[in-house]
């Protein structure tokens, strides 16, 4: 009987992260100062991040060493398994070969600890006592809490108030790992107090939470800030996923024709796909890497390539990205991790250069795909993950229609054990599609007041 899993040993955990910037035909454009709109250098980031992470943010070196201490923590769950999806193939009656790389085995149940551990480590090295961050539904906040706990750093999480109230469980997970969690807006920061003065009942937003976390770090010399996606160093840390996956596909004796991953800010898509894109760039292979995004937040498929702010308020540097505009408010879909107006700079440039593809799925299609996957393979995927499964199912059905066998690799970036309320919503027939009109998108984009990129 055939093996379902392709496993690696702890010795096979990658020793270096892969930095795709080195191999990009067009390098990313520089960030601009939010006021002067002039290019800014790495020193502008010094109040927020430790020096080593700033270096990683701007380096064009192809490989960056993973410290032994970080690899040692990775061993708590890495290497993660790759599966051949025999059950899903049978259910779809497709000639496609489907594989999935499963990151849900991490302590917090998603891929997020890959960068959280690295970031906590470098902060610890530079004597940082406290890290602040923001979190929506809590995937990132819980990963950073785990990582900070491990290295003995205080972790302070600004959690969007409406999530704090509606989804108390992720908060409990963060507390269990010793983090302090605040319902944002708080009265602990200038930014929070300003919002509360205008609206004492504000439900909060990711943009406000970012402002609070950044302010805390900027105004306390022992405190730094950490981000869970978008930035170059964050995306690079996630490449351990794809580097393992390349080895696992080699062990399986084949290479994927298609790699699919959900897309929020870019970290989980980059994590699995960049090491395969390297093979395209280096060896002229033609592995299609598809980013699967929500139809209700379609920055890659319907947004513009433009300098825009990373936050809602407009405090961060301007970044060249595919965006729906920093004032765009995504519909309240269950895939909270994908509700972000913009895409990471590196991924945006790759899309601009047609080196990757993007596809959008509505929420109902995604849950349909997730339930089908759970029934075929046992694992219940996170709502974010369901987007990649929806793309994979489309491609597998296409293989059947065309009578062609292709090899599809899905990034199964997290389990859905914290998201059962969302599944209940779907199973009871109450899930909304949240479609978005061209007029709504045009209006959001029209509110961007930065110059277009030539």
Residue 99 in contact with residue 409, Cβ under 8 Å?
yes
Distance separating the N- and C-terminal Cα atoms of the chain? 57
Of 1 and 446, which has the nearer Cβ to a copy of itself? 1
Q: Using CB under 8 A, which of the segments 74-82, 278-286, 332-340, 404-412 binds a copy of itself?
A: 74-82
Of 76 and 443, which has the nearer Cβ to a copy of itself? 76
Of 301 and 425, which has the nearer Cβ to a copy of itself? 425
Whole-number Å distance between alpha carbons of 50 and 58: 13
Report, in Å, the least distance between residue 261 CB and a copy of itself.
Answer: 22
Residue 59 binds a copy of itself, judged by CB under 8 A = no
How many C-beta neighbours within 10 Å does residue 424 have? 11
Residue 332 binds a copy of itself, judged by CB under 8 A = no
Report the helix count and the strand count for the chain, using DSSP H and E: 18, 15
Closest to 138 in 3D by CA, of 102, 105, 175: 175
Residue 136 binds a copy of itself, judged by CB under 8 A = no
> Interface residues for a copy of itself in 159-198 (CB under 8 A)?
168-170, 172-173, 175-178
Of 348 and 386, which has the nearer Cβ to a copy of itself? 386
Report, in Å, the least distance between residue 107 CB and a copy of itself.
Answer: 3
Residues 6+ positions from 116 with CB-CB distance below 8 Å: 140, 143, 144, 146, 147, 148, 226, 228
Residue from 19, 149, 229, 268 that binds a copy of itself (CB under 8 A)? 149
Residue 369 in contact with residue 395, Cβ under 8 Å?
no
Residues 7-26, mask of contacts with a copy of itself (x by CB under 8 A): x-xx----------------
Report, in Å, the least distance between residue 382 CB and a copy of itself.
Answer: 12
Of 309 and 418, which has the nearer Cβ to a copy of itself? 418
Residue count of the chain: 454
Residue from 369, 380, 382, 396 that binds a copy of itself (CB under 8 A)? 380
Inter-CA distances, 276 with 111, 239, 300, 366, 404, Å: 18, 10, 20, 25, 22
> Interface residues for a copy of itself in 384-423 (CB under 8 A)?
415, 417-418, 420-421, 423
Of 16 and 352, which has the nearer Cβ to a copy of itself? 16
Report, in Å, the least distance between residue 173 CB and a copy of itself.
Answer: 6
Whole-number Å distance between alpha carbons of 311 and 283: 38
Report, in Å, the least distance between residue 181 CB and a copy of itself.
Answer: 11
Size of the site for a copy of itself (CB under 8 A): 46
Residue-by-residue DSSP string for 212-256: HHHHHHHT-TTEEE--SSSSHHHHHHTHHHHHHHHHHHHHHT---
Residue from 285, 375, 433, 447 that binds a copy of itself (CB under 8 A)? 375
In what order do the strands lie in the sheet containing 82-84? 5-6, 82-84, 97-102, 407-412, 258-262, 288-294, 357-361
Whole-number Å distance between alpha carbons of 299 and 303: 4
Residue from 55, 57, 58, 77 that binds a copy of itself (CB under 8 A)? 77
Residue 46 binds a copy of itself, judged by CB under 8 A = no
Residues 102-121, mask of contacts with a copy of itself (x by CB under 8 A): ---xxx-x------------
Of 63 and 169, which has the nearer Cβ to a copy of itself? 169
Residue from 51, 162, 364, 371 that binds a copy of itself (CB under 8 A)? 371
Whole-number Å distance between alpha carbons of 271 and 288: 15
Report, in Å, the least distance between residue 299 CB and a copy of itself.
Answer: 30
Whole-number Å distance between alpha carbons of 160 and 181: 10
Burial (CB < 10 A; 0-12, 13-18, 19+), residue 286, is exposed
Residue 58 in contact with residue 131, Cβ under 8 Å?
no
Report, in Å, the least distance between residue 119 CB and a copy of itself.
Answer: 16
* Residues near a copy of itself, by CB under 8 A: 1, 3-5, 7, 9-10, 68, 71-72, 75-77, 83, 87, 105-107, 109, 146, 149-150, 168-170, 172-173, 175-178, 371, 374-375, 377-380, 415, 417-418, 420-421, 423-424, 427
């Amino acid at each position: 009987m055939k093996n379902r899993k392709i496993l690696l040993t702890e010795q096979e955990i990658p020793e270096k992260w892969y930095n795709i910037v080195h191999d990009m035909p067009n390098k990313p454009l520089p960030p601009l100062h939010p006021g002067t709109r002039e290019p800014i250098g790495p020193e502008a980031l010094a109040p927020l991040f430790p020096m080593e992470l700033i270096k990683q943010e701007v380096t064009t070196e192809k490989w960056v060493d993973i410290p032994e201490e970080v690899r040692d923590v990775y061993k708590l769950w890495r290497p993660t398994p790759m599966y051949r999806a025999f059950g899903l193939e049978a259910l779809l009656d497709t000639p496609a070969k489907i594989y999935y790389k499963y990151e849900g085995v991490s302590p917090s149940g998603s891929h997020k600890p890959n960068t959280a551990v690295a970031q906590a480590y470098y902060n610890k090295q530079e004597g940082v006592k406290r890290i602040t961050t923001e979190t929506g539904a809590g995937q990132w906040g819980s990963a950073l809490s785990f990582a900070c706990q491990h290295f003995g750093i205080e972790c302070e999480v600004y959690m969007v108030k409406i999530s704090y109230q509606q989804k108390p469980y992720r908060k409990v997970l963060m507390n269990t790992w010793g983090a302090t969690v605040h319902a944002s807006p708080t009265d602990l920061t200038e930014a929070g107090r300003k919002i509360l003065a205008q609206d004492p009942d504000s439900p909060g937003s990711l943009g406000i939470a970012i402002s609070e976390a950044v302010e805390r770090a900027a105004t306390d010399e022992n405190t730094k800030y950490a981000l869970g996606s978008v930035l170059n160093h964050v995306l690079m840390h996630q490449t351990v996923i794809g580097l393992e996956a390349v080895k696992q596909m080699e062990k399986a004796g084949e290479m994927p024709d298609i790699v699919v991953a959900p897309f929020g800010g870019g970290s989980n898509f980059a994590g699995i796909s960049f090491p395969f894109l390297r093979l395209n760039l280096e060896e002229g292979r033609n592995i299609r890497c598809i980013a699967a995004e929500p139809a209700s937040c379609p920055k890659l498929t319907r947004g513009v390539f433009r300098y825009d702010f990373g936050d809602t308020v407009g405090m961060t540097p301007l970044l060249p990205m595919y965006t729906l505009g920093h004032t765009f408010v995504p519909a309240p879909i269950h895939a909270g991790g994908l509700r972000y107006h913009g895409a990471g700079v590196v991924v945006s440039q790759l899309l601009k250069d047609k080196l990757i593809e993007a596809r959008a799925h509505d929420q109902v299609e995604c849950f349909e795909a997730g339930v089908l996957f759970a029934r075929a393979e046992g694992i219940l995927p996170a709502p974010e993950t369901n987007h990649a499964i929806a793309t994979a199912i489309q491609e597998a059905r296409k293989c059947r229609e065309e009578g062609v066998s292709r090899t599809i690799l899905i990034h199964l970036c997290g389990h859905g054990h914290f998201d059962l309320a969302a599944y209940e919503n779907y199973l009871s027939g109450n899930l909304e599609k949240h479609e978005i009109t061209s007029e709504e998108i045009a209006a959001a984009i029209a509110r961007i007041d930065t110059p277009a990129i030539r």
